[in-house]
Every structure is written in structure tokens, then in C-alpha cells.
Homo-oligomer: A and B are copies of this chain.
């Protein structure tokens, strides 16, 4: 349980640095991330490096015992570089070229720019790679932010064509895989294939899917080019990238594969996130000052998997931010609570953004641990309290890493892309459905691992698959080998890897263990809400429903009022034929969890639990005071069972 901060010495007079470092250490901060936007100061003119200021900053921080995370500055190429190669600017989907003047103004497909990135990374790594205070390196920052990954440049087209050749071998294979006979879309050669932009109507979904796969691979290779340099010149320290919340532009599992990163780090801005994601309006209203209780937990659990068990919060909200439609001040206590929440889900480090609010430029309305006048902000005071609590508690300081949870939730990036390409109904969003399932499980006190479809699922007792577009035989093999309960949501197994409907109808290969076929599907306008009951819980489908035929061996547990099957099972494998209202999701998942032998807890509105290292943490995101379900003789190491809004407690169960 360590606390960090993001700091930009280049933005402040040197006279402030020593005092800043001293106050950081005093506050209980152990790690400081610096330098990730400072290219124009490291290299003010082409080839003219100026390291003196950065040397000083590092020494000043190190002198206070602070550990340094150094960022490569490639998210903000300087003006002189753009002037030398204007083609490095990315191109929008309408063919317009983006311009200099903010950040992330580079085409990830530009080979010139990639060379420049390797050069500056090497220069930094050669200078600081073996500095004892530099404990980790971050490549770039928030790859894909501001929707900058898709570039429609000539460079991207060339690299996409090469990628396609690699994947499909011959253009005939590609034409077959994509079904290009449809609408005479057949290509004579890889060189003829354009980017899927500016088509009068929908482009071929297979074309779009391969473009998304290509882009995802581009992001990974962009990182790897820097990571390779860092491994060489900065041996033995952590290499990482800083990811974002609810962000699915690239496949994070593939990105992280083959030890491309040592630890996954991400940005936790739960209040703004709650405002912008697809939650019901009532939830946005209820949790406007606390954030939805599952919104950061969802990504904590996701990035724990991506980091192979190791994750940090690199940027933690420290007060109001500047980028949502509305930006309220968090409820008192939340800035502290979010730190404990991250730790309870397994974070090694929670690093706040940023040390001091910057009074100028684009983020001047983004708070920090200090106000622009350098007094500690309300959020800063909460962090000081948390740091002190941890320092004073041996138990908290030395908490063991989290172990495997009893429940796995499969989250799949390709499924997100496929269902974005083909929503079919205006309200259908896969990540939102996955979050719905996650939330229904968390409301009942369960700890969850979020995992890839390629993960080893053999040790879980309940495996939840909100949907999984492509189900291959290897995945079904895992089901056959497992003795867990398996719950599959709608659209599971509905596509082949080439984006076609399986010849045996959905759910494709899943029929090996679940004998049913999806005959027709429908997307539902809000007024069209097929009713059903599961036990004594009543509700409806929303967004999506399937007309499913139960084949011999399948058991129908619940039907819609019009007679179509809603819940079907074969042994331990269950299928939910629609997106259901929340209470029904909770019922379906509870039933499966109980069948798996798990113990459920009925938590008050807004209360959540998380377990780590023998402790149970409880967090109150709700408006009302709530009592954490600690056993009578629980040993509290933090707080107490009665929790006001924004309060947290932690206890050890009696032996």
C-alpha cells in the first residue's frame, strides 16, 4: 500500500522544487511520476538535448527518498519535429489532417515518428536508465486517448495492407474470409484495399474488424519499440504503460502479452467516468458525488488481470476534474476511500494526479493535492490522512497480494469491437452489459477476477460470460474440463473469427455443451419490453432478445410471456437469451452462484466489499449510513462497521 503522485517540475519555478519534494515525503508519498510531456524541454531544438533541469529535478526528488517513475515524452511531440515532418500528423476518418496545438498529434503508423520515438527514448534511457532512484519507466501516456489511434493516413493504409497480407496470405483468402462477393467488393490485390472510411453506406464488418485488429496491434508494437529500448538501457526496473478506464480501443491482453509490461497502471477518475458511461440516469444522479460503486472496481479487477496480477493506479482523482459534461466536487471522504478501494482490489501503488493544480493551459480546472496557491487541497488533506493511517498500521503496510477470486468474469475486447461494428440495436453495448453482470455480482458481496477468454479458467467455481462473440473449440474444451457453473449472456457464440454467423447458427461451438440454437434475434426499442419472471422476480428484456430453440437435452427454466425461452441450461451451463432488467440479472447470477456453492451477502444500497490478505474492506458509496456485514467479533484494522457516505473500514475475520 504505497502512495504516489504525478509531478511536472518543468511547469514550476526551480525555487519551488525542493520544498515540493520535502512536502511530498512528509505527506507519505513514496513514488513520483515525472517527465512524460516534457519533450520540448528535453530537446528544445532538433538534436540539442538539455538534461540539466531533469537531472536537477531527479536529484531533488531522490534527495527526499522519493522513487521516480520516468515517462517517455512521446505523447506530445514538439513543434520543431512536426514542422520537419508534417506527415506525422494523424488523419481523421473524413480525410482531414489533425493539427498541432494540443497533444497526441501523431500518426501511430508514421515510420518517421516511430524512429524519433525510439531515438528520444534511447537518449533518456541512456542517461537515466541506471539511476538508482528511477524505479520504473512509462512509455508515452494513455495510448489511444482522444480517439487518436485510428489514423486514416496513407502510411496507415500501407501498414494495414501489410498486416492483412500477414494475416490472410493471399487476397483470394481475404476475399473469401470477408465475403467480398457480396456487393462486388472483391479486391484484385492487397494494394487495392483501402481503409474503411467514407463509404456511402456501411463498410464490410469484416473489413472494419480487421482494421480494428490492425490498429490494436499498432498500439502494442508502438509500445514495444520503446519497451525494447528500455529493457536494454534500463535493465531490472519495471516497464509499464498507463492505461485508461472503460477503454477498449485496443486489446489490452495482447498488448501486455509476452511480458511487454511488468505492471499495468491506469487512470481512475470515477466521478467523471460515472457521468460519461452508459449508466441509467438514476444511477448517475444518485452517485454524482461518490461515483458509481463499481466503476473503478471494474477496472481495478480488469487491470489486475492485464498486469498479470500487478497493477497500480497511476492517476487517481484528487478532487473535481475538468473533462466531463459536469464536474462536481467529490463527497467528503471519497478521495481517501478510492485509495483503500484500489488497495483492496490489489493495487501496489495509488498515485494521485497531480501534485499541484496548474493555473494555466488546458488542465487548469483539474484539481490536485495542492491548490494553485500551494496550500493543501481538500483532497490533499484526505490523502495525508490515508497515508498516515497506513504508516501507522503494520497490517495495512504489509498486506499480501490478492489471491484468485472464486468468480471469473470473461471480458473480451474483440467482442466489444464486433458489437460496436454491428450494434443492431441502438442501446446495445457489450461493455455496458459486462458491467451490468459485474455489478450484479458485486452487489452480493462477491470478489471477481476479470479474465481473458484465453485465460486458464479451471480453478473458478463460477464463470460468467456476459457475452463472447466468438466461441472456439478450445473454449468449449475448458467448459468440459471444468466443474464450475457457467453463465452465458446473449450473442455468445454468434460469430466466427471472420465475422460471420456460424453455419450451425449461434451459439456455434457452444452447442457442444449447450444444445440450443438461436433462430432469430431482435433489438428492442425502449417501449418494447417482453415480460418474464424468474421465481418471484419480475422484469423484462431490454435492448436485445433472442428466439431460441431448446434442442434435446436443454432445459428451459424461464419463458417470456409470449412463450419464447428466456433461461436455458444443460447441466452446469446456462444461457440467458436476452439483456434483462437488473433484478433479473441479479437473480440469475445468484442462482448460479449458489449452485456453485458460494455464499452471498445482501448488501445495502451503495455498500461494497473487497477482500485482500485476510482482510475484508467495506466501502460506503451510498447516501445513507450503512452497517458493514462484519462478524460480531471481527477485528477492525481500519474504521468501524458503521459507515457514513464516503467511509471505509477493514477487519480481519475471527479465526
Chain B proximity of A78: nearest CB distance (Å):
5
Per-residue contact bits, chain A 1-22, to B (CB 8 Å; 1 contact, 0 not): 0000000101100000000000
B201 touches A146 (CB 8 A): yes
User: Given A95-B96, A198-B99, A371-B505, A527 and B185 touching (CB < 8 A)?
Assistant: no
Chain B proximity of A27: nearest CB distance (Å):
18
Stretch at the interface among A226-234, A321-329, A457-465: A321-329
User: Given A184-B77, A201-B103, A358 and B40 touching (CB < 8 A)?
Assistant: no
Task: Give the number of residues in A that approach B within 8 Å (Cβ atoms).
Answer: 112
Per-residue contact bits, chain A 179-201, to B (CB 8 Å; 1 contact, 0 not): 11111111110001010111111
- Looking at chain A's contact residues, is the secondary structure mostly helix, strand, loop, or mixed? loop
The 8 Å CB contact of A523, one of B96, B207, B326, is B326
B198 touches A289 (CB 8 A): no
A36 to B275, CA, bound (A): 48
Q: Does A320 contact B (CB under 8 A)?
A: yes
A134 to B201, CA, bound (A): 31
| A277: chain B residues within 8 A (beta carbon) | none
Q: Does A533 contact B (CB under 8 A)?
A: no
| A361: chain B residues within 8 A (beta carbon) | 178-180, 182-183, 185, 204-206
A525 touches B182 (CB 8 A): no
Chain B proximity of A509: nearest CB distance (Å):
14
Q: Does A97 contact B (CB under 8 A)?
A: yes
B102 touches A503 (CB 8 A): no
Residue of B nearest to A520 (CB): B329
Q: Does A288 contact B (CB under 8 A)?
A: yes
| A100: chain B residues within 8 A (beta carbon) | 194, 199
A357 to B199, CA, bound (A): 23
A102 touches B202 (CB 8 A): yes
| A99: chain B residues within 8 A (beta carbon) | 194, 197-199
A519 touches B371 (CB 8 A): yes
A365 to B434, CA, bound (A): 22
A289 to B183, CA, bound (A): 29
Stretch at the interface among A215-223, A372-380, A443-451: A372-380
Chain B proximity of A372: nearest CB distance (Å):
5
Stretch at the interface among A296-304, A422-430, A608-616, A618-626: A422-430
| A328: chain B residues within 8 A (beta carbon) | 522-525, 528
Q: List which A102-128 residues lie within 8 A (CB) of chain B.
A: 102-105
Q: Which residues of A contact B (CB under 8 A)?
A: 8, 10-11, 37-41, 44-45, 73, 76-80, 83, 90, 94-105, 145-148, 178-188, 192, 194, 196-207, 275, 281, 284-285, 288-289, 319-320, 322, 325-329, 357-365, 367, 371-373, 377-378, 422, 424-427, 498-505, 517, 519-525, 527-528, 547
Sorted from nearest, which 3 A-B pairs have the closest CB atoms? A179-B360, A182-B361, A40-B184
What are 12 contact pairs spanning A and B, CB under 8 A?
Answer: A11-B181, A38-B181, A73-B184, A78-B184, A90-B200, A105-B199, A201-B362, A325-B525, A327-B522, A328-B524, A359-B500, A359-B501
8 A-B pairs besides A101-B194, A101-B203, A360-B498 with CB distance below 8 A are A37-B182, A40-B184, A105-B199, A182-B360, A204-B362, A326-B522, A326-B523, A377-B520
